[in-house]
Amino acid sequence: MEKISFDQLQEQLYHEKLDNGLSVFLLPKPGFQKTYATLTANYGSIDNHFVAGDGSEKKVPDGIAHFLEHKMFESEEGDVFQEFSAQGASANAFTSFTRTAYLFSATSNVEKNLTTLLDFVQEPYFTENSVEKEKGIIEQEIKMYEDNPDWQNFFGLLKGLYKHHPVQIDIAGTVDSIRQISKEDLYTCYESFYHPSNMVLFVVGNLEPEKMMTLIRANQSAKTFPESNPPQRILPEEPVDVQKTEAVIPLPVQTPRCLIGIKQPAAGLEGRDLLQHELGMQLLLELAFGSSSSAYQRMYAEGLINDSFSFDYTSEKEFGFIAAGGETARPDDLVEALRRELISLKQSGVEADHFERLKKKKIGFFLRALNSPEYIANQFTRYHFNGMNLFDAVPVLEALDAAYVERLLEQTLDFENRMTVSKVIPAGEASAG
Amino acid sequence: MPEAKKTKSVRTTVIPSSTFKTTTFVMHIRTPLQKEYLTEKALLPSVLERGTKHFPSREIIQAALEEMYGAHLTADAVKKGEHHILSFKLEVANEKFLKETVPLTERAVQMLASIAFYPNLNEKGAFPDLIVDEEKRNHAQKLAGVKDDKMRFANKRLAEIMCEGEPYALPVLGYEQQLEAITGESLAKAHESLLKDSVVDLYVVGDVNEQEISRYADQYMKFSSRPLAPIRSAFKKPDEVREVKESDEVSQAKLHIGFRTPVVFGDKNYFALQVFNSLFGGAPHSKLFTNVREKESLAYYAASRVESHKGLVIVMAGIETTQYDKALSIILQQLEDIKNGTFSDEDVSKSKAVLRNQLLETMDSPRGRVELEYHGTLIGENWNADNWITEIEKVQAADVKAAAASLELDTIYFLHGKG
């Protein structure tokens, strides 16, 4: 077991890669009541086309990673939630574009709960009957999101940005696509992506690393797994240009929504370089649109944005995009303003004082986030799958300079054929524009 | 757990902890939930964030927060039972994790005091028109936006219908018509009245020196707060069950059911009500989750929650419009089953284990600690996680049955799709 110290943050991280390929990270947090654990597969909604273990090419129904996440909670003995409750833990799971995470938090019976977590995720049990039953539940989950205008707008944006890439597919799939899912499909996906070598276990909380690692080793060495066979994903060729420049979604809303998206080329970086790139992009957006920027004050005063305004840079190995927007009474004017503000930042350049203040803000954000075991485990895992280390964020931030961010500004904010707009407008006004 | 210490002036409670990398300041300004100044109070937090006497614009406030290593400020108005509470929260990095030394704790108290007590008024003693107009526009969108969040909208409708004529029915964001009438002068008057008639509590969680906090509070928060008698909502036994169905453009119908109970926070039976709720619909092992969702596949979510200071239990489920009768009867049957004792000792111990875990987890969040303390403050008693857990442990199966029996079905609200 390897120990990595982050002195300034006063954190010690323990790591071991087990014989079966499972990567384990333990972060002791003295003073905390709870222990929080996530077991995450490097597998998400975008992994819908791949070469299966028998060498055959598989294209699976949309939403299957999320469906699989739901179904894992059923074991031969019944419902895993009951077991966690009896052991005083609260358990959950989530699926993103690129990850499926199973988690629990507990303030007692930590060893038992950890064993339950490892065992239920590593013992799939699906029956035709239970797969059919789950369809009704997930159908209601999909319908709940159909009534969520911000979610609809976000996927409207992704569909505008991408021609072929599966990131545009709703994580839960559609009512029609999940109806096609069979027990066999679930086993195929499970076998292709849930090998320990494609997973990370992260445990954070009031724990003793040696003792816990011993427990994990024993649990894992008592199980047999097939030879590790790295998943072979088949991703479509995605052009640099966007699929379309505008999408309009009529929905029964009181206030319209508007998002702009700028498609980014895959950064082609890894490790600390990728971290620097990601943090630099976030600072850049904060400079352009953050609540202390003059652009924010102007757009607010003109009535183009309200408290719901937000912006984000999403980057993974194969895709990246900027999204900005929120509720607005005048979507078209907001699009113009956002475009204008970016161009004007490009012309005026980065102001040194503002940049230094935002660096401080971002450092403060990380310190605050390190209070949260949930944030640490989830973000560490995401960074890890992309070859980065979460705890490097503060030193990398401290070393960032304005010149670097100005170069990013030059390279990335190229709107030519890369920008798309998605608007949710009150139903009935579709033709009024 | 270290004893929380109270100091004079603004009532200050310091909760010492070395677990966190930040210091959290929470200020609650509390008045009774009532029609007078309702919308003004709802609007005030966002106007106060637009500038103070010392930090006259949002840009200046935000820059000061950034300079304080990204201190994080939030301000909003919430209702707890029949209290209307303006909440200001500020979280700053603990100086010891930074390369340079900055007096962040003192600056945080200054900032919080400045925002709540020293507004940026013009020469006429009013809030500037320009800012009031902008925030009114923003607030109008928030009011309208409640309808875009169907779960929230159904909750609001249920409270309005079920508690008609009681303060609890008042919407926490206020009313559109009242909003239109607000001016810089009327808002300044509301702020003045708020400071005169409210109870102000300041909580500080972190690795801080208590004397230091008291000194800053005395220095920057000179304020004569009046004791407010605890508000106890009267229990109103429903005359008859109300069933209200409304239609809207929704993919998923919302079934929200309101029950009354005479049991509120501070009562002996309150903890049994919590254990009951955990078993009924408060956790994934609950009767609602296992029956409505897992067994019948009727919903993605089917849950219940307790409104501790009003004596309500609310059930919420998202279902197909056509499944109304079936879902309703299954939900009501689960309550009957608990009333009749159709549950095992293991169910009770599971529910207690889940609650105990939730309470202990609360301790890991600075805001969670404050929330727990504040429950006690609202009724003039001292409560912390340890006391809660002790009381939860005492609950027996018979108490859970009794808690279930204390529920009276009041209102069934159904928001369903058209056609």
Give the whole-angstrom CA distance, residue B270 versus residue B282. Answer: 15
Name which of B81, B74, B86 is nearest B30 in CA terms.
B86
Flag whether B266 is in a domain.
yes
State how far residue B137 is from chain A, nearest Cα, in angstroms.
8
Model confidence at B241: pLDDT above 90: yes
Please report how the helices B397-405 and B324-339 are oriented relative to each other, as an axis angle in degrees rounded to 10: 130
Contacts of B301 in chain A (CB under 8 A): 144
Q: Are residues B306 and B202 part of one domain?
A: no
| E runs forming strands in A52-149 | 57-59, 74-75, 78-79, 89-95, 100-106
Boundary of a domain, candidates B187, B220, B253:
B220
- Whether A15 and A23 have beta carbons less than 8 Å apart is answered as yes
- Check residue A368 and give its pLDDT: 85
Distance CA A367, CA B104 (A): 14
Nearest to A254 among B147, B350, B357 (CB): B147
Q: Rounded CA gap, B301 and B378, in Å? A: 31
Q: Are residues B214 and B316 in the same domain?
A: no
pLDDT of A431 reads 43
Question: How far is it, in rounded angstroms, from Cα B56 to Cα B53?
Answer: 6
The string of pLDDT tens digits covering residues B156-188 is 999 999 999 999 999 999 999 999 999 999 999
Q: In what order do the strands lie in the sheet with B22-32?
A: B5-7, B11-16, B199-206, B22-32, B83-93, B72-80
Element holding A130 (H helix, E strand): helix A128-146
Instruction: Based on the fold, state whether residues B359 and B295 are members of the same structural domain.
Output: yes
How big is chain A by its Cα radius of gyration, in Å? 23
Residues B259, B193 within the same domain: no
- What is the number of other CB atoms lying within 10 angstroms of the CB of residue B379? 17
Same domain, B184 and B278: no
Indicate the pLDDT class of residue B9, thresholds 50, 70 and 90: low
Q: Where are the alpha helices (DSSP H) in B90-149?
A: 104-117, 129-145
Amino acid at position A392, single letter: D
CA B218 from centroid of its chain's CA atoms? 28
A363 and B72: CB-CB below 8 Å? no
- Calculate mean pLDDT across residues B310-333: 97
- Residues 308-347 (B) with a CB less than 8 A from some CB of A: 318-320, 346
Report yes or no on B153 lying in a domain.
yes
Q: Which residues of B touch A106 (CB under 8 A)?
A: 357
Does residue B154 belong to the interface with chain A, where contact is any CB pair within 8 Å? no
Measure CA B289 to chain center: 24
Block means of pLDDT (10 residues each) for chain A, 433 residues, are: 88 96 96 95 97 91 98 92 95 97 97 98 96 96 96 97 96 97 97 97 96 98 92 91 95 95 84 91 94 93 95 89 96 96 90 91 88 94 93 91 91 82 84 39
Residues B153 and B59 in one domain: yes
Same-domain pairing of B320 and B353: yes
B355, B213: one domain: no
The interface pTM score, or ipTM, of the predicted complex is: 0.90
CA distance B89 to A109: 34
Active site (catalytic) residues of A:
69
Residue A314 in 3-state DSSP? strand
At residue B395 the predicted structure's pLDDT band, cuts being 50, 70 and 90, is very high
Q: Are residues B208 and B266 in the same domain?
A: no
Judging contacts by C-beta atoms under 8 Å, the chain B residues touching residue A303 are 134, 137
What's the CATH number where B335 sits?
Answer: 3.30.830.10
Which residue range(s) make up the domain with B355?
Answer: 242-416
Which residue is listed with tokens 């989950």? A141
In a domain, B229, yes or no: no
Place of tokens 């207690």: B352
A57 Cβ partners below 8 Å, 6+ apart? A49, A50, A51, A234
Please name the residue of chain B whose CA is at the shortest distance from the CA of residue A250: B249
Domain assignment present for residue B236? The answer is no
Handedness of CA A322, A162, A412, A342 (dihedral sign): negative
Q: Please tell me if residue B285 touches chain A, with a CB cutoff of 8 Å.
A: yes
In a domain, residue B87? The reply is yes
Nearest CA in chain A to B206: A371
pLDDT computed for residue B21 by the predictor: 84
Residue B276 within any structural domain of the chain: yes
**Is the same domain home to B271 and B398?**
yes
Specify the pLDDT at position B2: 41
| Residues B299 and B361 grouped into a single domain | yes
Chain B residues inside the 8 Å CB shell of A102:
none
Tell me the shortest Cα–Cα distance from A166 to chain B, in angstroms.
25
User: Hey, CA dihedral for A402, A404, A406, A412, is it positive or negative?
Assistant: negative
CA distance B248 to chain A (A): 9
Q: Is residue B225 part of a domain?
A: no
Provide the residue count of chain A.
Answer: 433
How many structural domains compose chain B? 2
Residue ranges in A15-127 assigned as alpha helix (H) = 64-72, 80-86, 110-122
Best A355, A368, A370, A376 member to test B by mutation, with max B CBs in 10 Å, is A368
| Residues of chain B positioned with their CB less than 8 A from the CB of A87 | 353
What domains lie within chain A, and their CATH numbers? 2-233 (3.30.830.10), 246-426 (3.30.830.10)
Phi, psi of B321 (to 5 degrees): -55, -40
Does residue B271 fall inside a structural domain?
yes
Residues B33 and B151 in one domain: yes
- pLDDT class for B7, splitting at 50, 70, 90? very low
